[in-house]
Structure 1
Amino acid sequence: MSRASRLITLIEILRRHRFPVSAAALAAETGVSVRTLYRDIDTLRGQGADIAGEAGLGYVLRPGFTLPPLMFGEDEIEAVALGLRWVTARGDGDLARAAEQALAKIEAVLPAPLAERLQQQNLLVGPARQEAERIDTASLRAAIRAEIKLDIAYRDGEGVVSRRIIWPFALGFFETTRILIAWCELRGAIRHFRTDRIDNLLRLDQRYPKRRALLLAEWRRQQLERRPVRPQSLNAPDRN
């Protein structure tokens, strides 16, 4: 492993840990001596990494340090570019502009060979028909970030409109539509709302009482419970 690759690996290891990690453990995981590990820590600190700790106590990476984009490999560059171009094509106005700006920032700091690779656009995002929306999904994203309740007018599949007070906590992007995932006070449960069926919305400026992360965890648990169980073998006994 080259020294540059080793430093990247060391940063990624530190990112995985919220509490100090001993020099011995870091050295073992990166395959170097403890003395070399100390030098690597000093090098990363010199490059701007805010690594707290010292020999004998362990080390922890404080938030805020990012690896230079020049450390990206070709596959990573293509993955980032493809993802950002997808958002540019599928996201709402604010999100699309943010993706374009992020791509421009990455391109500006890349070394020439990788910047050229980024500009080639070998991986393309195909066209998709988006259902017309009556609302700006940027307002949904803002409510999700702020954990704010929304009052929406929602049309079901039969065209019947109902008022809902919801706690939005996630937004799913699909090829032809977007799905808002929220707790619905009317139903007393998590529900999925197609954004093209939301006729209007009102931001209530009331924080909902449950944290977004907990709601998302509950939704994920429900999705796992609904997945069909695959039989272990064709001859498995019937347990029904």
Structure 2
Amino acid sequence: MRSKANNDDAITSAGLSLRIVVVNTVIQSEDELHEDSQAQLARSRALRIGLLQAGYNIIAVIPGDIYMSERITQLQPDMIIIDAESDSRDVLEHMVMLTRDAPRPIVLFTEDGSQTNMAAAMEAGVSAYVVAGLQSERIKPVLDVAMARFNADQKLRSELSDTKAKLQERKTIERAKGLLMERHHLSENEAYQKMRKQAMEKNLKLVDLAQRMLDVADLLGG
């Protein structure tokens, strides 16, 4: 699986370098010649033509079936486009689970204008929800906006994760410092300086030293 750093580099590149997989959620047969099927075929064709005209690299067009997740894992695309005639909740759920560890922008083109389904899709992690109107000239701006939204969301998630990690480190250090203060009757500053000195001597980060102190205390029964 490609690293997150490599994935980030790929998704910030120009459209030509983007490796796109199109997921078609409507399974069709050549015998289906009624009006709805013809309209869906024309819609899907317009989407692919628009992507190619905009310079995007379609590496595969796959059905939204039980093998979809396996194919996505093998293909490792930079962006996933879902071509759906109507509600594609099952496909979205599988897609969101699949991209949880390897986030990718997901763009949904559909005929379903339900506000409820739109809100659910955006909440699930879809970067752009486009109802009808598949003119070729619209596709690149839509994908550009989806990419920008995805990158902004990933940046926010990264910042939140960093903040949580720093808060957790601070709590660990504070617990270890409190332990020293209680056991050795030290002031807060004295306990901190003692920990800092030990960390330097052992060539450890302060938080790592603090965690070791807490682990030893747990083993010794508090």
> Which TM bucket (shorter chain)?
under 0.3
Normalising by the residue count of structure 2, what TM-score does the alignment of the two structures yield?
0.23
- Return the structure number with greater helix share: 2
| Structure index of larger Rg | 2
* More strand by percentage: 1
- Bigger relative CO (Cα 8 Å, ≥ 6 apart): 2
Per the normalisation by structure 1, the TM-score is 0.22
